[in-house]
Structure 1
């Protein structure tokens, strides 16, 4: 057994390698205590409220949430009831979240409509019905929601409006179905990942410990959407649990103007933030005012999708002159079944490049264990430990998580005691005895055409699943000739670096590639669009 980071170990048991995080700290706040911060009057949560922004102390936030809880109880919520809602980055959503827990209910975080107006999968309504979800909180039209039969629609505005009456905080426990999140990139019948209150609270302590959060020092700033686990758990709930200042903004602001992320970090004197790899890439491609001061940044999580070394280098070239230290970037790996975070690198070290272009995602957090077959080839990654989900909610009912280990669906390997994740195992081909992942092709594509493209998606070909196909979404103002030239350059680079020829490279217009609620490309849906010829009119150029 070898110690690879404070409290973390790596050991070999037979043909298997076990990575284990340190023991989970004892004495952490319960979820009930996290949402009832009676004592905190000098720390604040700043959050959008309509066209304005409001700043509430923790005590003021608790009082507003207590009012929401009272209205929910009056509407018929009883301890253990499930309440569905789409959590946006606004005051009403934060109050709904805390109010449901204060009233003894469980929160079901439903996915939003996509930017193209598509509704959430209708299967979600079936899951909500099967689990007995009694309420859906929203101000949207019921026809635009996955509202199950028999569920009651409650107005978020009416539940969370300011109340002159002072309400006592209910002394109720959060139920076992504390939080249900739908995995963002799931295919087929949707599943809700169920996390219990003890597992959620303990994991928040593990994440805060890994970030070394201090109440008198840290200030968390995030644009990540609350309907995704990184935005909700790693950012908002982690900040509340640590009793630090939290500043939220709308994700659409970053999407339209990527410079707003670093600009807000400077204006708010932030020390903590997080974003997926694509955000670092976008943030590196825009100009900034030279007076920005990012020297206070201590932790900037990078997770949610495979990290690309070139994207991190590009980001560093832009951000370092503004004071953003390389050591503040903290690569991580996680999944909803592990609450949110599973591994991260050591604070202050910065990203580290491993074999074959893979960026290390560090060692397990407190209470987390990982199991992989020993070797240097990518193999299935299995999750164990105390920070795990309790089961899935499906259209067939509740499926409990059983056994010591959960198959994450990812492949990875251990190098120098740290985890390196290669990609999803459902998008991989075998070539001459080695595996080539969709993420390998996408990384090369971004390296070749970063300035000319917005996104790309690689996936097993429809007619020949032993090979990969590629769709590239070009930047605006790109014409057909430029798109075709880029397609040829990408295909040549993939042959040279991976030794495989793509069956096709389709260059499509902006807004074509479907994405998950967290902004990641959806490879399976992209394949479906091509098989049905649904994107035919949006193709600028094609190589076959």
Structure 2
């Protein structure tokens, strides 16, 4: 492995790497791959730089790179680096959401160009009416400043490399904040070389140079910096797996690691669960994972239990059980801030859940304690070289070890600010140069606030969660990822299917925040009702808080880097989108409590009290609850009483107040008092300050009237996409066949294709993923025929005069 101590820029580093035997293995389907040396990469990049200059791109211009082709992406990226052009990696849009993000980014830039897929510009222009006037006006010239790039391989002369300095911007990493407005992190050559050297120093060990392999998207800082820029500048071999291939078949990840004898790979938490879903322990595999020393786990909250499950599953393939390596970082820190040492088994710190609020010392727990709810957080090691970390309070004062506070960072890897956004930069740093990660603001003393909360333990970092996501109930702080972890233990769920959010008091009109859990679910209402009940019970039992709403969603909104956009779900809730679903679920939950309601209606006090006991045991697990013992002495808390009151309200048709349960402290007293209420006055003795439960929807049953659909939708060769177009085709007697469209089937070997014409559908890759509540990754994984079925089924219903969104046609 060569040293890059003398390299001042990425351009110098690539020139040095071109003199080595190292390079990139580009993996494809069916275990196919191709190798490109760093000398070949540099030559290819210089030829692309010549093409860019011919088109009019100048040093200092910004180039948005939008392509899923990893070979083409790397060629274009390094062309920008060598030409002192500011690279702006963006995801290729598959729907309106991705196109809108590119539109927003375009409005932030000075002299932007778009290079990549020919269809991207059109998709962005199509959403211009959803952007502000200034941005929409800027987009008017997007086609004129778009260069179509179809293949990485290009012929022609090589351009001369531009003069580049260490403080020049290498690329801008954009991410959308909670308002959807993008902020671009400026990453300089010096930032990158510093952070890459620190990462390599943390994972390197004597022996053969490390080899890397990754499926992470190159538009994500984790993917482009750790798994492409780092090995490239140090002349180290690395392999790149197309992200879409990993989404479709995650097993290619370990196959590639085995084929390449890779030492280093990684991915965020969800990737390990995604892999395990497809992994069959008894299937014959020829994997040898003994070389894998580091599997970096970062970019989202780390679940140690999942990491250990992944490690155990691959132990038969000789995976070292110390390979999983927790890491913490952010774009504003270039990439990595802290990392656990390689060859150290990952572990978590278990603390009292009631003592993880900002400014509060945590209390570690060694074992089970009566009345104490434990929560565990992954240990993420010490800060890497050239990065300092401190924990501070809201006033910027440094806190002692073991006290929860704001995570702030400072060092040579930290960005100097946000591109073309002086206000955000000024708000981000402290006066002495620290970055506060809280709202990504720089504190008055120069530290950058990361927006995260955590504490130091033996000078090692423990991250507890995002400050803006914390849910506050009765003065105690609860972290959404902790609630999500517990909810995901319910049968049929996992970590990627649950999102916890706080619904503010200004929305609920209550004296506390409400907890909403949004669950990825695309099946029927009855199956979801069972899941919702299980989620409520699990969270109440383990964490001790009520879940006010458990709601189904067809997709979980995320940024292109995979971070959950909780604010979008809250906005949908506030807009009233879930009112009918809530009413339906409440009606089903009330129906499930039929035995309790029957005992109440019969006036049988003993039977009624017994059923109350069964309901109470679902809320507080751990044995019998005596009928004559106060609930607050039987494991109940005030929050558990809130949930008990809510369930009684739904089951009995009474608005039971929590104060009523305090006044009648035992199950026997509650049964007696409820049965003594005059039935006509029962609803008056309700949650006096709350609204009555919503009226339920009419249940969907087999007796519902049948619907006759009289509508037609189709997709046929010759561009036929409507019934009228089909009639025109028949009347004209036109031939709907054509020659093979460009890009269809790829480049076939000579002699393989035995016909020159065929019946081809047009635009089969165009699919409105956002319209159908699918993520781009989910849309890519769906068979094209299924995508066509979705679109034509919707059109057929519309042509029949039916609204596909109504309960008569669908649920949720």
Q: Does 1:506 align with 2:551?
A: yes
The alignment status of 1:346 with 2:351, answered yes or no, reads: no
Mapped partners of 1:538, 1:449: distance in 2: 21
Question: Is contact 2:488-2:494 (8 Å) kept?
Answer: no
Using the alignment, how far apart are the partners of 2:259 and 2:205 within structure 1?
A: 20
Matches within 5 A, 1:515-526: 515-526=558-569
What CA deviation, in whole Å up to 9, does each residue of 1:30-65 have, x standing for no partner?
Answer: 322233346434212122689974321111111111
1:19 counterpart residue number = none
Q: In 2, distance between residues paired with 1:41 and 1:316?
A: 34
Query: Which structure has more helix as a fraction of its residues?
Result: 2
Shift of 1:214: 7.7
Alignment of 1:349-498 (within 5 A): 349-355=344-350, 356-372=375-391, 373-374=399-400, 376-393=402-419, 399=425, 402=429, 403=431, 404=433, 405-449=447-491, 454-461=496-503, 463-464=507-508, 466-474=513-521, 480-498=525-543
Q: CA deviation at 1:149?
A: 4.7
Query: What are the within-5 Å matches in structure 2 for residues 109-258 of structure 1?
Result: 109-113=89-93, 117-120=95-98, 122=100, 125-141=103-119, 142-145=121-124, 148-150=139-141, 152-157=144-149, 160-163=152-155, 165-167=156-158, 169-173=160-164, 176-183=168-175, 186-212=178-204, 216-258=208-250
In structure 1, what is the equivalent of residue 60 of structure 2? Answer: 80
Q: Secondary structure in 2 aligned to 1:354?
A: strand
Query: 1:204 and 1:366 mapped to 2: Cα distance?
Result: 10
Query: How far does residue 217 in structure 1 lie from its aligned partner after superposition?
Result: 3.2
Q: Tell me, what secondary structure is at the counterpart of 2:563?
A: coil
**Kept in 2: contact 1:48–1:89 (CA 8 A):** no
1:145-195 Cα distance to aligned partner (Å, 9 max, x none): 3774545433342684421x4525414215722211112565332111111
Distance verdict in 2 for CA 1:131–1:515, change over 3 Å: closer
Q: Which has the higher strand share?
A: 1
Distance 1:420 1:47, change over 3 A: same
Deviations 1:263-297 (A, max 9, x none): 22222222111100011122223215343211110
CA 1:157–1:481 in structure 2 vs 1: closer, same or farther (change >3 Å)? same
In the alignment, what sits opposite 1:287?
280
Preserved CA contact (<8 Å) 1:37 1:58: no
- Give the drift of 1:90: 1.5
* Higher-RCO chain (CA-CA 8 Å, sequence separation at least 6): 1
Q: What is the rounded CA distance, in whole Å, between the counterparts of 2:148 and 2:452 in structure 1?
A: 37
Unaligned runs of 5+ in 1: 1-24
Distance 1:121 1:189, change over 3 A: farther
Q: Aligned partners of 2:108, 2:530: CA distance in 1, in Å?
A: 51
Kindly indicate whether the alpha-carbon contact (under 8 Å) linking 1:65 and 1:95 is maintained by their aligned counterparts in 2. yes
Aligned equivalents of 1:86 and 1:397: distance in 2?
Answer: 28
1:262-277 paired onto structure 2 within 5 Å? 262-277=254-269
**Counterpart pick for 1:101 among 57, 63, 81:** 81
Shift in alpha-carbon separation, 1:399–1:376, aligned structure 2, 3 A: closer
Q: Deviations over 1:462-490 (max 9, x none)?
A: 5347232111114x7x6544432232222
Alpha-carbon distance in 2 for matches of 1:143, 1:540: 42
Determine the C-alpha separation between the residues in 2 that align with 1:540 and 1:184. 33
> Is the Cα contact below 8 Å between 2:228 and 2:238 reproduced in 1?
yes
1:28-47 correspondence runs (5 A): 30-37=9-16, 39-47=18-26
User: Which structure's CA Rg is the greater one?
Assistant: 2
Q: Hey, what's the Cα distance between the residues in 2 that align with 1:208 and 1:219?
A: 11
Q: Tell me the equivalent position of 1:5.
A: none
Bigger CA drift: 217-226 or 457-466? Answer: 457-466
* Structure 2: gaps (5+ residues): 126-137, 351-374, 392-398, 434-446, 587-645, 647-812
Root-mean-square deviation over aligned CA pairs: 3.0
- Partner-residue secondary structure (3-state), 2:289: coil
| Distance (Å, rounded) in 1 between the aligned partners of 2:205 and 2:92 | 31
Aligned partners of 2:86, 2:114: CA distance in 1, in Å? 12
CA distance in 2, matches of 1:460, 1:432: 13
Going from structure 1 to structure 2, the CA distance change for 1:228 and 1:293 (only over 3 Å counts) comes to: same
Tell me how far 1:536 sits from its aligned partner: 8.0
Contact 1:138 1:156 in 2 (8 A): yes
> 1:329 aligned to 318, 324, 340, which one?
324
Q: Write the distance in 1 (CA, Å) between the matches of 2:210 and 2:145.
A: 38
SS at match of 1:307: coil
Shift of 1:422: 1.2
Give the structure-2-normalised TM-score. 0.59
d(CA) in 1 for partners of 2:85, 2:452: 33
Structure 2 CA distance, aligned partners of 1:67 and 1:244?
Answer: 23
Given the two structures, how large is their TM-score scaled by the length of structure 1?
A: 0.86
1-side partners of 2:190 and 2:15: how far apart?
16
Native 8 Å contact 1:430 1:466 kept in 2: yes
